[in-house]
Chain A
Amino acid sequence: MLFTQALLAGVTNGFVYALVGLGIAVIFKGSHVINAMQGELAVVGAATAVFAAAIWGLPLWLAVVAGALTGMAIAILVELGPIRALFARRAREESFLLLTVGLGFTFSAGVLYLFGREEHLLPPLGDEVYEVFGAIIREHALWVIGISAALILALRLFYRHTHLGLSMMAASIDPDGAATTGINVRAMRTATFALGGLLAALAGLLVAPLIGVGYQMGPLLTLKGFAAAILGGLSNPLGALVGGLVIGILEAMSIVFVSSGMKDAVALTLLIVIMIFVPDGILGRAGRKGG
């Protein structure tokens, strides 16, 4: 029963990490920028929804839309402003990383200032609680799993079968070539950030009923999401799911079979071992081909 509970917790957490990693993978896929503030965007999205519902009295669905749009809007502004400026100056990857890290701190301070120091909970999608072999899983966790799976499938179809998705990938893989075929490379990059920001906000909104988001949570979410994305192969959204699940389940099993004190040491060591054997990430090769 403990094992089942741990497995369920690990899978649920895995999907949380995967959702954050999804946005990181999308932004990397479309711009080769590593977005170190993905977790903060998730927190901003959730905090905005909480704020909109509590202070402005918006109905929940509208507050959630407001949160999602806020995440998207901030990502767009970041791209139109500093990111574009860095690209124009032919900045290297380190500069982008530094920029997003710095922005992460800024947003975290902004959330503290605007929304306070509490943890914010959103109402869950359903209050049911299900028992599986003596272990408990909440209805909302099942919704998170279902919606994440749907999002990943949708992204796969988007990148493979829609004109916009294909253009976004082309603009990232070969900007000059894409430009010659009439693709507006800069607009595609903005679209990538918009999508990444939307995914970040959705991650925050889906996860807030489970874990409650606070101003300090951004970096940890980013770190776990980043690990999930890299483990799965950074360019592959499906990889983020695989990576997230591996990390979540490894963590849970480390707690059960080793000790909670050693959880991070064990889980991350195993991660390092995996990366040594598959340096491109578990689905990395597929990602290279645009999977």
Chain B
Amino acid sequence: MTQSVSRRALLAVPALVLALAGTVAVVEAAEPIRIGAILSTTGPGAGAGIPQRNGLQLAVKLANEKGGIDGRQIQLIMEDDGSSPDVAVTKANNLIFSQKVQAIIGPTLTASTLAVGGVADPAKIPVMAFTGLGVPLEKTRRCVFHMLPSQDLNARALLEVATKALGAKKLGVLHDSAYGNIVMTKIREVSPDYPVEIVAVEKWEVGATDATTQAAKVKAAAPDAVAVIGNSATPFRNARQIRLTAPLLSALGTATYEYVKAMGDAADNIVFAEFLVAEDPLPGQAAFVEAFRKEYGVLPKTMEASAWDAFNAVAAGLAKLGADTQPGALCEAIRGPFEGAMARFDFSQEDLTGLTLKSYVFSKLDKGKFVRLPFKAGS
């Protein structure tokens, strides 16, 4: 009898110690840092939203593997706005007021950025939007930062490479009725600064199944180069099918491997104004490219890199803050230069992006493969 009691007592001691240790451990485990994300992973915006999600999830995963920020793990709360600004606002309200996130990464689309900014900026929650600065109103939202160039800059980049690298004097433009329309307006505004004449402008509607006739009209004007602006591979194919042989130019939205596959044989002799050529990365981009390839088995492009940078910019701001959690403090901590994989940003600039013509990396599609061009704009 005495023996079993003492054995039980012996067992009780380590059990008690372990229980106490467990309690202490729970108390000492730091609270995770909550970061929200609103991306368009379904709907028309999914073409950009899904690569953004991939880049973001990788960035968070690697940051957590390295121990998080100040010993605290990062908890990413991912939301899909379905490419709808109304849904984006609902998600933003939930993330900011219920989930109490410290920052929001996204949205993917312009309309959602405008909507979410209206909620987040007064609450001083930083938003890292995957859009270029648009309407002047956005300049007043000092907590909404932009990871992509404005359309004005995109237009200039296209004209720079067309006139200085390709030597084009006559430019044709094929653009879609949404994104392409915006860029075309900027091209018209900016083209007087360049020695180029715009000889043909034709439009196709978003989702159109064919743009052959429009391409034929552009071909009839005999341009030296043709800018094709819009999120569809169809006009590229149509242009090549009717033997439009001039080099084609396009923006970063179409510079992805999915589009290359959809273009088929037409994926040749196309010049892009983008930011990341993973086959031949700039020194500051190599680490990201390698990490992405290791995780997903494919190479990243601009969208993946922009999301990676968005998270890391927020993380850098958080690391700077330390214990300072005043509302608006994180916005101020982010507001400054940031060396990203996509480009060097400067969120303290008036356009809340800090990208310049020099930030662009120009590439050319050569029989379906991206080749980085040595051309540098803005020099």
Contact = CB atoms under 8 A, between A and B. Distances in A.
Nearest to A120: B262
B14 to A, nearest CB: 51
B198 interface: no
A117 B50 contact: yes
Nearest to B238: A9
B44 A5 contact: no
A252 interface: yes
B217 A2 contact: yes
B210 interface: yes
Contacts of B212: 5, 9, 12
A35 to B, nearest CB: 19
A10 interface: yes
B243 A255 contact: no
A6 B232 CA distance: 20
A221 B209 CA distance: 8
A1 to B, nearest CB: 8
A65 B343 CA distance: 48
A16 B208 CA distance: 12
Contact of A135 (B207, B209, B242, B261): B242
A31 to B, nearest CB: 27
Interface in B184-219: 202-205, 207-210, 212-214, 216-217
B208 A117 contact: no
Interface stretch (A190-198, A209-217, A232-240): A209-217
Given A117-B47, A135-B242, A216 B210 contact: no
Nearest to A119: B262
A112 B42 contact: yes
Most buried by A among B212, B214, B258: B212
A13 B207 contact: no
B50 A260 contact: no
A121 interface: yes
A138 interface: yes
Contacts of A207: 209
Given A109-B42, A119-B262, A2 B216 contact: yes
Contacts, number: 86
B214 A260 contact: yes
Given A121-B262, A136-B241, A136-B242, A216 B216 contact: no
Nearest to A264: B205
A256 interface: yes
B51 to A, nearest CB: 9
A214 B43 CA distance: 12
Contact of A220 (B208, B237, B262, B264): B208
Nearest to A218: B207
B111 interface: no
Contact of B210 (A1, A9, A117): A9
23 contacts: A1-B220, A5-B212, A5-B242, A9-B210, A9-B216, A12-B210, A13-B210, A109-B42, A117-B46, A118-B258, A119-B233, A121-B264, A136-B242, A217-B207, A217-B209, A221-B209, A252-B213, A255-B214, A255-B217, A256-B213, A260-B214, A261-B203, A264-B205
Interface of B: 42, 44, 46-47, 50, 202-205, 207-210, 212-214, 216-217, 220, 232-234, 237, 241-243, 258, 261-262, 264
Given A5-B242, A13-B210, A119-B232, 15 more contacts: A2-B220, A12-B212, A16-B210, A112-B42, A119-B233, A119-B262, A136-B241, A138-B241, A211-B209, A217-B207, A220-B208, A221-B209, A255-B213, A261-B203, A263-B203
5 pairs of A and B residues whose beta carbons are closest in the complex: A9-B212, A119-B262, A5-B216, A118-B258, A260-B202
Interface of A: 1-2, 5-6, 9-10, 12-13, 16, 109, 112, 116-121, 129, 135-136, 138, 207, 210-212, 214, 216-217, 219-221, 224, 251-252, 255-256, 260-261, 263-264
